[in-house]
Amino acid sequence: MARLKFLCDADRCIECNACVTACKNENEVPWGINRRRVVTINDGKPGERSISMACMHCTDAPCAAVCPVSCFYGTADGLVLHDKDLCIGCGYCFYACPFGAPQYPRVGNFGGRGKMDKCTYCAGGPQADNSAVEYAQYGANRLAEGKLPLCAEMCSTKALLAGDGEIIAAIYKERVQRRGYGSGAWGWRTAYKEGLAV
């Protein structure tokens, strides 16, 4: 069984935000919620780098470890999804996540945040695949249609890769070998407990 992962090649990302826009449009993500975002470090300075970040669907996901209601579940493909009907919006996962992935729809009385929302790897939620209720709560389920997440499919420079971890790692290694440098598969050690040595 494939283990699905994300990989962002910071030497290729041009901060065009197409991944962010594709994600929002595909999943009808409301204003103010960012399942995916592009982070730029050293903006305007030599060595500037941008990286596209979302839920990395970690191995031994810290969000799942701290969730008091056990709303998270893993899929056979290695994805980390959650059940919004169980979520109580406590925000523990937000503090546990090393990537800032969990998002909350509102700021309310007594710290009420609403149900947590995050990247589903375009794989919907626990309801029946591609049903209207699934779309309303979680957005598209492209995976059930045999498609990869739209953010990576839309990436103009193919900086953002999605798919079987072994395949995308091989693509990245080939790139690094050919161009002679690579700033590393950012976040892989944190998310998947493994580096990507070439």
Residues forming the site for another protein (CB under 8 A):
15-17, 20-21, 24-25, 31-32, 43-45
Token pair, residue 141, equals 């389920």
Q: How far is the CB of 198 from another protein (least distance, A)?
A: 27
Tokens 């031994």, residue located: 60
Q: Which residues contact 151 (CB under 8 A, 6 or more apart)?
A: 19, 20, 22, 23, 36, 52, 54, 160, 162
Q: What are phi and psi of 135, to 5 degrees?
A: -60, -40
Q: Taking the complex as a whole, how short is the minimal distance between the CB of residue 57 and another protein, in angstroms?
A: 23
| Residue closer to another protein, measured from CB, 46 or 146 | 46
In the complex with another protein, which residue's Cβ is closer, 19 or 67?
A: 19
Q: Which is nearer to another protein, 36 or 57 (CB)?
A: 36
Gap between the Cα atoms of 144 and 156, Å rounded = 24
Using the minimum distance from each CB to another protein, give the nearer residue, 19 or 79.
19
Closest contact distance (angstroms) between CB of 24 and another protein is 5
Q: At its nearest, how many Å lie between another protein and the CB of residue 197?
A: 32
Beta strands in 42-143 (DSSP E): 49-54, 72-74, 80-82
